[in-house]
A and B are shown apart, each in its own frame.
Chain A
Amino acid sequence: MKKHQNLLLILAVILLALVPLGVVQTDEEETFTGADGEAMVVINQIAPDYEPWFSPFWEPPSAEVESLLFALQAALGGGFIGYYLGVSITRVRMRRAWQQGQPCA
């Protein structure tokens, strides 16, 4: 169990993200829109007169540009974590090799 724990964790994450895609059936044109946007719709229902008093300085001109920036955000994070884990693993290995009196390759 312990040995496969990480694999099971990854599988569970993938399942949790995939299952809704198959299970949810709606007649609406757009499903899986952002919850942030749905909250905005509720605001409009509760307070129909409310006008947002400030708008973003800049908006991504298209969904493609938006996904570029989101991908960039995730890539930055993923790259750094990968780098750190690589450094850590190498450190553990070199320490072990050093303790066994072998030269570090």
Chain B
Amino acid sequence: MHIMEGFLPAGHAIGWILVSAPVVAYGVYSLGKKVKKHPEYRMLLGVAAAFTFILSALKIPSVSGSSSHPTGTGFGALLFGPTAMAPIGLVVLLFQALLLAHGGITTLGANVFSMAIVGPFVAYGVFRLARMVRLPFGLAIFLATCSANLMTYLTTSAQLALAFPDPAGGFVASFVKFAAIFAFTQLPLAIIEGLLSVLIFNALARFNPQELRQMNLLQAPEAQP
């Protein structure tokens, strides 16, 4: 999902930075407020960041014959709300842009938008919806984080299609081409991300049920191991 350095026309690059910046700013503000109110959340915030660090470093081979990586941003969004992951995703993407030449400074806005804004919002929304229709906790986590991962890559495809519409078929034809690369590759990886997110939530539900209950993620009876 990393759009490479310089691979978005300047207008698009600036546009995505303008779209993402306010969300990152609000994320910093809301995280600051939350941590002030609950200083004990600081460690969990570290866990959310650490999870994104690991998952986005893992290039995993996929059935399409290419490799890609999970994002890990859905997990943190479920803990801290959708905007919280914007600044965390920014840190991870900055690390990769500066040290690994993965993604870039000019494409940072676009990459933050897909991985650290769209993904978290999708995770948050799908989770709320799944719990509303009373799906089990684990399944709700899986669906939320899995679809967050997929939507991140579809967003990247749309961003590239907007910047590079097909000369004959326009946006749609171009979107199909990019989505064919990203979405197909991503399908098993999205499932992996969903499974790993359930795994870490299982650990948290067992050892830190009181925090999850405070965050309205667990009801009391479900916390029993």
- Given that A35-B181, A60-B101, A88-B208 are contacting pairs, would A17 and B192 also be in contact in the complex, using a CB cutoff of 8 Å? yes
B23 in the interface, Cβ–Cβ < 8 Å? no
A51 closest partner in B (C-beta)? B6
Least CB distance, A79 to chain B, in whole angstroms: 8
Q: Is the CB of B47 within 8 A of A80?
A: yes
A5 close to B (CB within 8 Å)? yes
Check: A97 CB closer than 8 A to any chain B CB. Answer: no
Q: Is the interface of B mostly helix, strand, loop or mixed?
A: helix
Known contacts being A6-B199, A38-B66, A59-B101, is A13 close to B192, with CB within 8 Å? yes
Contacts of A23 in B (CB 8 A): 63
In the bound complex, do residue A70 and residue B10 qualify as a contact, i.e. CB atoms below 8 Å apart? no
| Chain B residue at minimal CB-CB distance from A45 | B177
Interface residues on B, range: 35 or more
Q: Which A65-81 residues have a C-beta within 8 angstroms of B? A: 66, 69-71, 73-74, 76-81
A53 to B10, CA, bound (A): 8
Stretch at the interface among B31-39, B54-62, B122-130: B54-62
Q: B53, A77: Cβ atoms under 8 Å?
A: yes
Interface core residue of A35, A47, A52 (most chain B CB under 10 Å) = A35
Does any Cβ of A come within 8 Å of B98's Cβ?
Answer: yes
Q: A36-B2, A54-B104, A88-B208 are in contact. Are A21 and B61 (CB under 8 A)?
A: yes
Q: Is there an interface contact between A81 and B101, defined as CB atoms closer than 8 Å?
A: no
Q: How many residues of A contact B (CB 8 A)?
A: 58
- CB neighbours of B160 from chain A (8 A): 39, 42-43
Q: Please determine whether A77 and B6 come into contact, CB atoms closer than 8 angstroms.
A: no
Q: Can you name 8 A-B residue pairings with CB atoms under 8 Å?
A: A50-B7, A52-B4, A60-B99, A60-B100, A76-B50, A77-B51, A77-B53, A85-B203
Binding site for B on A (CB under 8 A): 5-6, 9-10, 12-13, 16-17, 19-21, 23-24, 26, 28, 31-40, 42-43, 46-47, 50, 52-60, 66, 69-71, 73-74, 76-81, 84-85, 87-89, 91-92
Known A43-B160, A58-B98; 18 more pairs at CB < 8 Å = A6-B202, A9-B199, A13-B199, A20-B65, A21-B61, A24-B65, A32-B66, A35-B64, A40-B7, A42-B181, A54-B5, A70-B59, A73-B53, A73-B54, A74-B58, A80-B46, A81-B47, A84-B47
